[in-house]
Amino acid sequence: MLGADTTVVAPNGEVLGKPADAADAARMLRLLSGATHQVITGVAVVSAFGVEIAAEVTHVSMVTLLDDEIHAYIATGEPMDKAGAYAIQSYAARWIPRIHGCYFNVVGLPLALVSGMLEGVRIRGEQLVR
């Protein structure tokens, strides 16, 4: 079984989940605007061979956003179910000039980390069967 959840940590240290409403989404985007923030995804793999947990951290830089850009983006509805109120894989990609770390982590599932964890489960399983 695999479980994962992603959160965003604003430059001021505030942990940002999904916005409660449009005003909250605008507030979050203003916090991230013109700064670098962290995206953290926690992952858990549960198998017959045990539980493994890990986290991936990616640093994301965002350009300075104008209020008109923020309101137009919120009007698309896209930020309403995204941690930090943006989706790097869609319209908001144009606001992200650089990242340091795993792109897929920012999308929501750090594939290299998960792949390594699943490989570890497979190896442990083979060792127990021998």
Q: How many residues does the chain have?
A: 130
DSSP letters spanning 48-59: TTEEEEEEEEEE
Would you tell me how many other CB atoms lie within 10 Å of the CB of residue 68? 8
Choosing from 5, 21, 67, 81, which is the catalytic residue? 5
Which letter does DSSP use for residue 92 in this model? G
- By the 8 A CB rule, do 29 and 96 touch? no
- Catalytic residue check, 5: yes
List, in sequence order, every residue forming a beta bridge with 37; answer none if it has no partner.
Answer: 60
Q: CA–CA separation, 30 vs 66, rounded Å? A: 9
Catalytic residue numbers?
Answer: 5
